[in-house]
Amino acid sequence: MPGRRRRPRKYDECCYTNFGEQPAPLEIQIGYGLIPLVDQQIKGPLLDEITSVRNQLDCEYGLPLPKVHIRDNMCLDAYEYKILLHGVEVGGYKECNPHYVICMDTGNVTEELEGKMIKDPVFNLDAVIVSQTRKDEAKTFGYVTPEWYVLIKSHLYEISVKNITKFLDQCMVNTLVNKVRNRNPDVVDDVFFLHNFSTSKLKTILNWLLEEGVSIRDMNTILETIADNLEETNRLSDLMEKIREKLAYQFLPKLADENKKIHVIRVSQTLAKALSERIYYPGSNNELPYYVFTPVANKGFNNKVAEKAHCLFQKGYSPVFVIVKDLRTALSNIIRQGLGNWSCISDTELCSVIKDKDYSIVVEEELDVDEIKVNESCPCGN
């Protein structure tokens, strides 16, 4: 009726209950059927698995993962879970029924198992869902049969690693710096007061290191290296390279095989010289350098890099590219952006582990691209 005030509906109030509330950095939502996995009274196994993920990431990357917020969501299916990153769904699965088991084919299956065919939510491997009574049968056929809480843990770990830089906020950077201050206050004063270096710049460098899988646990060495090199350069990408050289003894051994041999793809001297003519440094100090190619050269470069990487995979090794130190950052940048999360290391980094004679280098392939030639005009006009 005209002039009559509308009675507020119940959901109008609900719409504003959480208005302005910041989403949890990392959250797991579960259906009611999965509540026993996180029930403290019955020692739900998922809680311990989540703790182990946080400890593992802290050990591997030196970055404490924020507490994982767990809550039941009645809107989900009974045996469904979702993983949210800053309030956005980034993974999940709907059929974690404890009466059934997921059987994953990792390449060692000797006989196929009949059941519901799926792709596992973590690694996208071929998998079959069968009843729990057939679990032993699946194992004899060569299938991997993880418990559902182990699968959720693995999914959480993979998502956390993929998005590791999203957990490094300004507050965390300050916390890491303060830990160094307690032990070595002089280097903190040198970097942030004498040289007026900001924590936001440090955060940029730390994120670049994390993106390439380099641990930032040794913050004292990181700050010492910055202090030692700020007189020579204030370009953040150059400072990152100096830090990598200091930390090479930590991450290079992870690239070696059981015989302490690092199998690499070496960028040829000819290609390195041509790339040096095409490197571009953005005006912004918080951006990484990159190479500028013509469309034809870009296609040739991508095809050749993919080809060499495939050769390494066929030999049973992960691709590791080696180039002179001044060109490493740009090479790593262009490969990770468009081709794959493969390792790129510099000749200087290699020298730091070779000189101890503990490790040796095996050049498996040499990278050369016919479409990229020396002394050709640079597409960017520089």
Q: Are 271 and 367 in contact (CB under 8 A)?
A: yes
pLDDT of residue 77: 93
Report pTM. 0.86
Helix axes 219-229, 199-211, angle to 10 degrees: 120
pLDDT of residue 41: 82
Helix axes 325-338, 269-276, angle to 10 degrees: 80
Rounded to the nearest angstrom, the gap between the alpha carbon of residue 265 and the centroid of all alpha carbons in its chain is 22
Identify which of 36, 26, 25 has the alpha carbon closest to the alpha carbon of residue 148. Answer: 36
- Radius of gyration for the chain, computed over Cα atoms and rounded to the nearest angstrom: 25
What tokens does 115 get? 């059941």
DSSP-derived pairing of the beta strands 88-93 and 81-85: antiparallel
- DSSP states along 323-378: E-HHHHHHHHHHHHHHT---EEEEHHHHHHHHTTTS-EEEEEEEE--TT--TTPPP
The model's pLDDT over 207-217, given as tens digits with 9 standing for 90+, comes to 999 999 999 99
Which amino acid is present at 264?
A: V
Three-state SS annotation for 273-305: HHHHCCEECCCCCCCCCEECCCHHHHHHHHHHH
pLDDT of residue 12: 37
User: Tens digit of pLDDT per residue, the chain (382 long)?
Assistant: 444 444 433 333 333 445 567 888 999 999 999 999 998 887 889 999 999 999 999 999 999 888 999 999 999 999 999 999 999 999 999 989 999 999 998 888 899 999 999 998 998 888 999 999 999 999 999 999 999 999 999 999 999 999 999 999 999 999 999 999 999 999 999 999 999 999 999 999 999 999 999 999 999 999 999 999 999 988 999 999 999 999 998 999 999 999 989 999 999 999 999 999 999 999 888 899 999 999 999 999 999 999 999 999 999 999 999 999 999 999 999 999 888 889 999 999 988 777 666 788 999 999 999 888 877 655 554 4
DSSP annotation of 192: I
H or E element, residue 247: helix 236-251
